[in-house]
Amino acid sequence: MKKIFRLIAIRIYKKQYNLLRGRLLVEYELVKGDNTNSLNMLSKLLITGEDHRFYYHIGFDIIAIFRAIRNRMFYNKIEGASTIEQQLVRVLTNNFERTFKRKIQEIFLATTITSFIPKNAIPKIYLNVAYYGTGMDGLSQACLKLGITDRETISIEQAAEIVSMIKYPRPQKLIQKRLAQIQARKQHLIRLYNKQEFFNKYADNIVKSTVGTSLFPSVVMAQMIIESGWGNKSIGNNYFGIKATGKTNEYWKGETKETLSTEYYNNLKSNISTSFRDYDDPIDSIRDHNLLLSNERYNAVHLAQTPRQQAQAIFNAGYATDPKYVDSIMSIINTNNLTELDKQKILIS
């Protein structure tokens, strides 16, 4: 499909395509050797906040487009659906018309970008040419305006503030409302960034740990996110909320830690002091979780044909008491595209 869109774009929008291609090749030369931590961090923040399906779409995000149309039609809510590629096309062709014709052109041209520059260079180029506010055309001017003289030492807070100003450009006279928008956006981006870093740190381990089993990596990852609060509420490297019962094994040596646990009995929520397994390393927690699910008690888990069936079987076997546990797992899987992990498992099995 990408090839078809690309051929149509070159044929119908030849002049704009040539202009875009020329500008992109020039801008690519400026970033292709820049693999600094600061630019990589800025790129991650940009993708996380502006286009979280960046690595899965062909230049436009059909899911975001349909969601925006639905929300406008049924809820009278206006929201953006532009990908980073589309925003880059808009800036480099200098076409900001608010017309359906311009949007269609932008979508088609966005599919051509990766035919002459690598996908991972796109965020870097966009950051270099984006508008951040009055007197801030491009990343260099934005850093200068914010008093950042050494981009090598940029902090996560500074990086998040810079990316926030793409959505909320900083005016010459900074009013309180815009400052509040930038600060709120900054905190939101930092939360999303930390979640993505957590995912990146453990996703490969989870996929590899499920090879040779019937476990869906998407379900395991979702459980890890729920039980550890994205790594923020785990205790003793226990990322799966496994209680300190049963026999020790090669992953759990018998160490325990006590904390309050939220449990549901007859749909009533209560906090109970509970002893949890304490691990030397979070990876041991992953392996011990999979070992736990190999117990006879969880036989139905391995008969599941879909992530939802598996999540339901885990709940039915008594892993969790929250009546919304299955829905929570599926919500996290769908929101974070975790089924991509299931595809990865198939590829390496």
User: pLDDT at position 33, please?
Assistant: 84
Cα distances from 227 to residues 57, 289, 329, in angstroms, run 30, 12, 10
Q: Return the pLDDT at 307.
A: 98
Residues 101-136 have pLDDT tens digits of 999 999 999 999 999 999 999 999 999 999 999 999
Per-residue pLDDT tens digits for 2-55: 789 888 889 999 999 999 999 999 999 999 888 888 999 999 999 999 998 899
81 pLDDT higher than 90: no
β-strand pairing of 136-137 with 256-265: unpaired
Residues paired with 38 in a beta bridge: none
Say what percent of the chain tops pLDDT 70.
100
**Stretch 56-79: mean pLDDT:** 84
Q: How many CA atoms lie within 13 A of 19 on its CB side?
A: 14
Q: What was the pLDDT predicted at 163?
A: 97
pLDDT tens for 257-308 read 999 888 888 888 999 999 999 999 999 999 999 999 999 999 999 999 999 9
Residue 6 CB contacts under 8 Å (≥ 6 apart), including other chains: 111, 112, 115
- Is pLDDT above 80 for 247? yes
What pLDDT score does 265 carry? 86
pLDDT tens-digit readout, 314-328: 999 999 999 999 999
Distance CA 258, CA 348 (A): 38
Q: Is the pTM higher than 0.85?
A: no
DSSP letter assigned to residue 323 = T
pLDDT at 59: 94
Task: Report all structural domains of the chain as residue ranges with CATH numbers, in order of start.
Answer: 2-189 (1.10.3810.10), 211-348 (1.10.530.10)
Instruction: Give the mean pLDDT of the chain.
Output: 93
Helices (H), the chain: 2-12, 14-31, 37-50, 62-75, 84-92, 100-110, 122-129, 139-145, 156-167, 176-210, 217-228, 282-292, 307-316, 325-335, 339-348
* Interatomic CA distance for residues 169 and 162, integer angstroms: 9
User: d(Cα 227, Cα 219) in Å, to the nearest integer?
Assistant: 12
